[in-house]
Amino acid sequence: MSRILILSWDGGGNTPAAYNLGSRLARAGHRVRMMGWHAMAARAAEAGLEFTTYPSVPPWPADVRHEDGWQRIELALFGPDVEQDIVTEARTFGADLLATDCMLTAGYAAALRLHVPVVSLVHPLYAPFVHQWGNQILGTDVAELLGRSAAVLALQPPGFDLPGTLPDNTTYVGAISPPGPVRRLDATLAALLEEAGDPWVLLSMSTTLQGQREALPGLLKELASSPVRVLVTLGGVLAPESLDAPANVTVRGYLPHESVLPHVEAVITHAGMSTVATVLAAGRPLVCVPQGREQPLNAARVAEVGAGLDVTPDAVSIDLAAAVLTVLSNPRFRSTAQEFGAHSAELGFGQRAADLVESALTAEAT
């Protein structure tokens, strides 16, 4: 049994892969502990992980967007106090390996001091992160940073990223799903989703505060007269009662995507990379309505590979309702999404990622 310390932060789409990878490694017999932000404790416990926070990082205010508190983010990802938090915890825990979020540069600095191997979890689209925007945001040479890793796990299915050659230590592993049976939906919702009628589409934005409160009413208004039924999940960011939902819309707080996707025909999303990868793993097409961050890059790529449509101000002018109906009626979108789903199945829906971590441990031991 090895001791694996997973280093993460509450950035939204970066967290599911960290929880699910940790859960797979724990099931394989390793002792796994996660360091994260205070709000992550409950989800880590659900994944069966030990959990601790960074002592130097205070709880994130619920009403502050990451974009409005970037100085706090910088301290929590890059700061020397967080680096020391990690070093102290890793020594206390006896970590044999650090699995770190690719934006948490303090984790790489700690690994150098500790002389332990590091595995990188690259949750954004790999090529743009490494070659376009990562250096500026992280204030370091991203390619060099990742080059120190025993393994780099790019959390996109093969063929989705921009074309290019990967370094030898880097592998596209697709979305990392939870191990074991898919969590069941509550009986009432499951029965509703099985009722005959118009097709169901999922409308899911981020699990972190962005512009949901401003964006969702307009999106729902556009879909109100369409021949679809819409399941809205709010990711715990807004309360369900805060939305004035049309008759064809059902609203829930938080639901695991893996539980919902088998019941829907398409997904409307902000195009966070984690959501895109998870939806493609399920073989469902997408309609992307990016809200910011790196989401326009992901949405553009969805359209380029033919797995859905990009509805943004600088894309081809098409309204949301028309985009949804197009994706539902044209079989090429679902066919392309299913091809990505087949790639994800070949990778074991995350098992390949867990295997690579174990290989890094074996290599270090020899």
pLDDT tens track for 312-359: 765 544 688 999 999 999 999 999 999 999 999 999 999 999 999 999
237 band by pLDDT with thresholds 50, 70 and 90: low
β partners of residue 20: none
Burial 45-60 (b: 16+ CB within 10 A, else e): eebebbbbbbeebeeb
pLDDT in tens, 143-174: 999 999 999 999 999 999 999 999 999 999 99
35 pLDDT exceeds 80? yes
Domains and their CATH numbers in the chain: 3-174+348-365 (3.40.50.2000), 187-345 (3.40.50.2000)
Sheet holding 229-233, edge to edge: 249-252, 229-233, 200-204, 266-269, 286-288, 308-310
- State the pLDDT at residue 23: 97
207 band by pLDDT with thresholds 50, 70 and 90: low
211 band by pLDDT with thresholds 50, 70 and 90: low
- State the pLDDT at residue 153: 98
pLDDT in tens, 280-300: 999 999 999 998 778 899 999
Tokens encoding 64: 């502050």
- State the pLDDT at residue 366: 65
Q: What residues contact 311, with CB distance under 8 A and at least 6 apart? A: 287, 288, 289, 299, 318, 319, 320, 323
State pTM to two decimals. 0.92
77 pLDDT exceeds 60? yes
CA distances from 26 to 38, 137, 241, 257, 278 (A): 21, 32, 37, 22, 21
Task: Tokens 């049309």: give the residue.
Answer: 246
- State the pLDDT at residue 16: 93
3-state SS of the chain? CCEEEEECCCCCCCHHHHHHHHHHHHHCCCEEEEEECHHHHHHHHHCCCEEEECCCCCCCCCCCCHHHHHHHHHHHHHCHHHHHHHHHHHHHHCCCEEEEECCCHHHHHHHHHHCCCEEEEECCCHHHHHHHHHHHHHCCCHHHHHHCCCEEEECCCCCCCCCCCCCCCEEECCCCCCCCCCCCCCHHHHHHHHCCCCCEEEEECCCCCCCHHHHHHHHHHHHCCCCCEEEEECCCCCCHHHCCCCCCEEEECCCCHHHHHHHCCEEEECCCHHHHHHHHHCCCCEEECCCCCCHHHHHHHHHHHCCEEECCCCCCCCCHHHHHHHHHHCHHHHHHHHHHHHHHHHCHHHHHHHHHHHHHHHHHHC
Rounded to whole angstroms, the maximal C-alpha distance in the chain is: 63
213 band by pLDDT with thresholds 50, 70 and 90: confident
- State the pLDDT at residue 217: 84
Tokens encoding 268: 């409307």
Q: Write down the mean pLDDT value for the chain.
A: 92
